[in-house]
Structure 1
Amino acid sequence: MLIPDSRTSLDQAAGLIGDVIDGTEVSRLLQEVDDLPQWPDIATALDRLADYLGANSTPIDYGRRRLLDYTGLLPHDRWLEICRHTGTPPGTGRRERIARSQLFQRLSGLPAESAPDDLGGPDSAEFRATSLRFTALQTPELAHALQQEALNFLASHHIHDEPMTWQPPATLLAGLSLPGPDPAHVDLPRLHQLVRERQHPVQHAAQVLGTTVEAIRHVLDEHPAPAPPLTKSTARAAGRIRQQARQAIPAERFTRLYLDEHRSLQQIATLTGFSRRVLTGLAKEYGIPLREGPKDYKRRGTVERAWLIEQYVHRRRTLPDLAREAGMSTANMARWAKTHNVPLRPRGGSSHSQVLRAIDQASRAPSILRPALGGQGASERLSRFAAASPYPSLGAAASGLGLNTFTLVAQINRIERELGGPLLVRAERGRPMTLTPLGKKVLKAIRKMQDNTMP
């Protein structure tokens, strides 16, 4: 179609279709086609196609596509992510190169052999043979994911209004006798069955169905075979179990179960039916840090705050007693107390009434102050911060309040850690100490709390 009625040379025509052959090879192919008994119908098909293209605009600007920079097509990380989400074994590199070169072929309309070297295009007969196995490996899920990746690539080049591929209507070939088998006559269910049964499925299917490898490849490109049922071991190897876990426990649900409800991995495993190993990998994928500490702390059940306050504070039971009832160590029960901001009774120190007052005060305090009211001396630390805030520096505040400077600084540093941010902009030469926005809110809350506790 490039040569008749034009001044285009054979070498120029070869260049327009991707430089995979030269003018001499084009001449040889034309002679072979001319010798075929179907040549008149081939010529008719080409005439019909030329007329169709002359009368109808195509939805793809292939000239523009062939000028795109394809170096960013299907990055390695995206390939791994696609394999993870579709349950496809990613292979050792060759499979990824095949997927990339096939995407290049479909997007550009050029042969895969024309793919840039940095895309890892075909470089050997072995590579091309492997590409046949990749055709059989594809599932509908993988094909859809790769198609979406191709559309995303086009969008990154500001091409939003074109499909991934296009072909003229097959009705242009109606009534013509053309060389080669018709892919439309391939038994699709039987083909899908065959490609899942043999080590070299494409060649085997072509032999059994009495057609060509090219026809089988075309049909599988259009209609990938569904993935076969997997055993538990093969499912794990293919990443299918992780995929199922990802669908059953999305990040939001995992966060709610593990962080909000404070369930252990073992409890989530019992609830969902997935192993702790799978859940550990899922947590890593979601960026959810696993709790640190002894293994039994991760494994034991949840200790509710209301129960702990009732038993430890109001009923004055000891931590060892509560730990025995909950089936955990005393140290783990102490961790739960810290998690719930329940002050521990001092050993041989002040009376339990002080703890009760601390709990009561924390429950009635403004919410912004509650994280800083969980330990002994909390109210005193907050009062000292409020008293120190008008001074030009912490040194001046310590002197004016009759405190050791180191003690005052340490107490304010602790409040800042507990409340999650700086409260003061420390004094520098020529500039006095000032409150930060958080410090102003905290000071206001302290004044309010002090007003509420005055008789």
Structure 2
Amino acid sequence: MTSESRTLPIRLAPLPGESLDSWMEALAHRSMVDFREILIGLGLHDRHLGLIPDHTLFLLPEEAERAAAASGVPVDQLHAMTLRQYDQHAVVLHAERRSVIRMQLWGRSGSRYCPECLRERDGRWLLRWRLPWVFACTRHGRLLAHDCPGCGHRPRHGRISVFRDTFPDQCSTALKRSGPFCRTNLSQAPTVLIPEDSPVLAAQQWIDSLLSKIEQGEVSGLKLRNIFEDLRALASWFLRRTEPGDFQAYGEYIEELCQSHQNDGQFSPNPAAVAAGSLTRAIEILRHPTLDRSVAVIRDLLGRDAESLDIMTPGAVHKKWRKHSTELQQTVWRAMDTKLSTIERLRYRSCTPQPRPPQRSDKITATRARRIPQLLWRSWTVRLLPEAGRRIISLRPALSVALLLPGWSLRRFDPLIRMLHDQEHPDVYYALSKLTRNNGEALTVLCFIADYLDDDQCPIDYARRRTTISTDLLPTKTWVDICADTNTPPGAEVRELVMRRYLYQRLTGNHHRQAPGALQVTTPAEEALLAAVPFTLTASLLEALDEYAVGYLRAKGIEEEPPVWEPPAHLGMRLPLSQEADDVQVQQAHRLICEGIRPALAATQLGVPLDYLRFIFESQPPRSRAAAAGREGSSSHTRLAAARSRRRSQKELTEEFLRREYLTRRKSIEQIGAETRLPSSIIRERLQRTGFLTLRHPGRNPIDEAWLREQYLHHARSLADIAGELGMSSTHVGRRALAMGIELRPRGGHHAVSPALLEKVPLFLRPALTDQRCWGRLLRFREAMQHRTIAEAAHCLGARQAVLSAQITRLERDLGTALYVRARPGGSLRPTQVGCEVLEALAAIEVPRK
């Protein structure tokens, strides 16, 4: 090659989009020399070398410099006329061999062409025609020609002859080695017309837009190679598994050639019609990968690959398609969804619009576990398993574990169970089978919730609460104060314990059998009491409990966390119970429960699951149970009245007040109680707390003799009255009085029966007249004998069954005989002979009503 380059005597500007070899041919034709002379003039050929590389693939930097100096065409423009600009985007070039790698991106040699474009451009060839992705001319609406109609060879394919002197629009293929050229006029080659509304033209336009971005250097942030890799993979798959009718929508010609194509799709097909059919189908999927139609097409292809699919796992898909785009992998996973096990569907999220492989690290799963309660949120359990029924309590822990499966790297449950449960071993397999059997969308919603939690949108750290909240939750005094403030009957100690357990479960989401200490539920009866708590809630009570919970959590160092939280309902829009209950349904639920209808029966009448009814009462509790039932409220509950009194005593029985009234003015506890209308027990408790009771009566059981004589003898107070003030028993005060030499008055006072009435009472009945309550017991016995059972009688009398039974037993003990025969199944109460005599005696006398 000469060391000095001369400028060409004739210069010719390249046309837009023209390939380098086309420009050099046009320059040779214009200069009236053969192709070899142009190569030598541009510094691209050494006279002493026989082999000539295909410079249209790429130019070396020094080659481009020499050609630019000789032709006056800028170096950048010369490089733009080669396939170098498409390298690693739409083709892959071999730098050493100076060739296209056919095994990647459907690389091919030679060029397709548009005859009409050749006529309009005086035989000038476009560079894009060399790409495997260009199969149609969008300007003229025709498929490109792929071979010479004269010799049948692919144009511009094979070794380059430097001695050719053909016109640019003629076929330059040598018919024989060192023989004549074909010289067929390619501008007259026949091609197939494509309808304007054909998807084939739309597909070519979409590809052209990608190629334009490459040519303009707008490839930053675009994974164009992945797109073309996806196109190649899908197009070859379509060709490999083609069936009649697959390409019918693109025309009979394309359908016929695609069906007769024998290539397995590994290499780029030469006929433009075959490329058009396969690439158009591939583009339809790539442009809309999330559409169900695209998923159905891939599922159909997988069905044709049934033999290989049986041994293909989701992990194998990820390995096989790892060089392809995430969108294509997601489409394949979605198509495989119906063939996968439930565990794999969750791990790969194949049931969602955006499947993805499990993460290699378990850090995300461990973090998510801190945001999940041991018992799945009640509302979401009902939405996911509306027909679970009584087994829902056993399914809630299993569903919490299932919520950890999306993205989990293993196929085993044990590590996930240990993240949430210390003792329980929920049956996750059974829960998953229920999910897939009852609701096809449940797995999708589980994945949505998992993604929502992974996005750090859960404000509660349940793992911290599981280790922080303990048995010091909701002390008795706090519970009584809350009841007094909210007009709620405190109930007995059992009620208090149940509410403490309920609040613990509400705050931690823990399984009731894994709670600490006394908060743990161990029997079915305790489970039933805990399950009934939501139906006893009111809006004010729940608000007060949550307000207390906020303070409790802050005291434990847990700040800026709400007491309770659940994922938003919009995540389950696909589920039957995705919507919140409307106002009418809520009011009906409140009315039924507050009227005394059993919750199970109320749920049946409303047509909702029982646990969904619990969710209604937890999320929208009634203002008050009396108002929900349409009646006025009642405050006759003994413990509620005591709670209110205790609440009022905190405000009225101040230390200053007690010092003045009790120590200075020497008022008795009863006097203070009468003035303040507070129980003596509460006043005595406040005095003991302040220490004033000890100041006034120092020592162990202190009794001043002069004071006792004055109170008992001069003021005529009873021993019981004095004992009540001193906090002692009347028996002890009587013994101390006798020890002091004080003569006790004979016992007397009010009689249970007046002397006049006593004469009317038969002798056998008089042993029952022991105290002021005796007539009440007799009247209740008479009322009870009018009913079938003791339970029915207690209900009508408004009393507890145990209390009524105890009163009748007291009568039987006083009279020394049984008064009635217990009812057998199907029978009713029946008085004994003595019982009948008692009833006759009560009918004969006028019983006083106390």
Give the TM-score normalised by structure 1. Answer: 0.52
* Structure 1 Cα separation of the partners of residues 586 and 420 of structure 2: 31
* Structure 2 Cα separation of the partners of residues 132 and 162 of structure 1: 25
Please list the CA deviations of residues 272-327 of structure 1 after superposition, one character each: whole Å capped at 9, or x if unmatched: 6x36xx365256347465788979x99xxxxxxxxxxxxxxxxxxxxxxxxxxxxx
8 Å CA contact 1:98, 1:121 repeated in 2: no
Q: By how many angstroms is 1:84 displaced?
A: 5.8
Q: By how many angstroms is 1:6 displaced?
A: 1.7
Which of 549, 553, 556 is 1:154 aligned to? Answer: 553
8 Å CA contact 2:406, 2:450 repeated in 1: no
* Structure 2 Cα separation of the partners of residues 75 and 243 of structure 1: 14
Aligned match of 2:434: 32
* Structure 1 Cα separation of the partners of residues 683 and 544 of structure 2: 21
The residue type paired with residue 212 of structure 1 is: P
Partner of 1:187, secondary structure, is: helix
The residue type paired with residue 34 of structure 1 is: T
1:205 counterpart = 2:602 = yes
Within a 5 Å distance, the mapping from 1:260-409 to structure 2 comes to 260=660, 274=677, 278=679, 281-282=682-683, 284-285=685-686, 287=689, 289=692
Within a 5 Å distance, the mapping from 1:124-273 to structure 2 comes to 124-174=523-573, 176-178=574-576, 183-184=581-582, 187-198=585-596, 201-225=598-622, 226-228=624-626, 229=632, 231=634, 234-235=636-637, 237=638, 239-245=639-645, 250-252=650-652, 259-260=659-660
Aligned match of 1:5: 407
The residue type paired with residue 602 of structure 2 is: A
Structure having the higher Rg: 2
Q: By how many angstroms is 1:123 displaced?
A: 1.8
Please list the CA deviations of residues 119-140 of structure 1 after superposition, one character each: whole Å capped at 9, or x if unmatched: 3322222222212333222334
The residue type paired with residue 209 of structure 1 is: L
8 Å CA contact 2:449, 2:571 repeated in 1: yes
- Alpha carbons of 1:155 and 1:143: their partners in 2 closer, same or farther (altered >3 Å)? same
Please list the CA deviations of residues 166-205 of structure 1 after superposition, one character each: whole Å capped at 9, or x if unmatched: 112222233x23369954566333333332322x642243
Q: By how many angstroms is 1:230 displaced?
A: 5.1
8 Å CA contact 1:183, 1:218 repeated in 2: no
Which of 504, 509, 526 is 1:104 aligned to? Answer: 504
* Structure 2 Cα separation of the partners of residues 222 and 285 of structure 1: 39
8 Å CA contact 2:483, 2:643 repeated in 1: no
Q: By how many angstroms is 1:80 displaced?
A: 5.3
- Alpha carbons of 1:280 and 1:19: their partners in 2 closer, same or farther (altered >3 Å)? closer
Partner of 1:4, secondary structure, is: coil
* Structure 1 Cα separation of the partners of residues 527 and 580 of structure 2: 23
* Structure 1 Cα separation of the partners of residues 489 and 422 of structure 2: 33
Please list the CA deviations of residues 221-249 of structure 1 after superposition, one character each: whole Å capped at 9, or x if unmatched: 223332535546x33x1x33334445656
* Structure 1 Cα separation of the partners of residues 543 and 671 of structure 2: 35
The residue type paired with residue 568 of structure 2 is: P
Partner of 2:560, secondary structure, is: coil
8 Å CA contact 2:406, 2:447 repeated in 1: no
8 Å CA contact 1:242, 1:282 repeated in 2: no
Say how many residue pairs are matched.
287
Deviates more, 1:281-290 or 1:188-197: 281-290
- The runs of 5 or more residues in structure 1 that have no matched partner are 299-455
8 Å CA contact 1:59, 1:166 repeated in 2: yes
- Alpha carbons of 1:109 and 1:134: their partners in 2 closer, same or farther (altered >3 Å)? closer
Q: By how many angstroms is 1:34 displaced?
A: 1.2
Q: By how many angstroms is 1:155 displaced?
A: 2.6
Partner of 2:530, secondary structure, is: helix
Q: By how many angstroms is 1:29 displaced?
A: 1.4
* Structure 1 Cα separation of the partners of residues 581 and 686 of structure 2: 42
Partner of 2:468, secondary structure, is: coil
- Alpha carbons of 1:213 and 1:20: their partners in 2 closer, same or farther (altered >3 Å)? farther
Aligned match of 2:459: 59
Q: Which has the higher contact order (CA 8 A, sep 6+)?
A: 1
Within a 5 Å distance, the mapping from 1:393-432 to structure 2 comes to none
* Structure 1 Cα separation of the partners of residues 461 and 559 of structure 2: 12
Partner of 2:621, secondary structure, is: coil
8 Å CA contact 1:101, 1:120 repeated in 2: yes
- Alpha carbons of 1:63 and 1:51: their partners in 2 closer, same or farther (altered >3 Å)? same
Aligned match of 1:50: 450
RMSD, aligned α-carbons: 4.0
* Structure 1 Cα separation of the partners of residues 584 and 542 of structure 2: 20
- Alpha carbons of 1:6 and 1:266: their partners in 2 closer, same or farther (altered >3 Å)? closer
* Structure 2 Cα separation of the partners of residues 248 and 75 of structure 1: 19
* Structure 2 Cα separation of the partners of residues 169 and 254 of structure 1: 48
- Alpha carbons of 1:34 and 1:20: their partners in 2 closer, same or farther (altered >3 Å)? farther
Aligned match of 2:417: 14
1:123 counterpart = 2:522 = yes
- Alpha carbons of 1:213 and 1:19: their partners in 2 closer, same or farther (altered >3 Å)? farther
* Structure 1 Cα separation of the partners of residues 614 and 436 of structure 2: 26
Higher helix share: 1
Q: By how many angstroms is 1:31 displaced?
A: 1.6
Q: By how many angstroms is 1:157 displaced?
A: 2.5
Aligned match of 2:490: 89
Q: By how many angstroms is 1:162 displaced?
A: 1.4
8 Å CA contact 1:48, 1:172 repeated in 2: yes
* Structure 2 Cα separation of the partners of residues 280 and 43 of structure 1: 59
The residue type paired with residue 614 of structure 2 is: R
* Structure 2 Cα separation of the partners of residues 157 and 20 of structure 1: 25
Partner of 1:35, secondary structure, is: helix
8 Å CA contact 1:182, 1:215 repeated in 2: no
* Structure 2 Cα separation of the partners of residues 104 and 250 of structure 1: 28
Partner of 2:564, secondary structure, is: coil
* Structure 2 Cα separation of the partners of residues 230 and 285 of structure 1: 30
- The runs of 5 or more residues in structure 2 that have no matched partner are 1-402, 627-631, 698-703, 712-850
* Structure 2 Cα separation of the partners of residues 187 and 243 of structure 1: 34
8 Å CA contact 2:479, 2:490 repeated in 1: no
* Structure 2 Cα separation of the partners of residues 44 and 243 of structure 1: 50
* Structure 2 Cα separation of the partners of residues 44 and 3 of structure 1: 12
* Structure 1 Cα separation of the partners of residues 504 and 590 of structure 2: 26
- Alpha carbons of 1:285 and 1:227: their partners in 2 closer, same or farther (altered >3 Å)? farther
* Structure 1 Cα separation of the partners of residues 455 and 608 of structure 2: 34
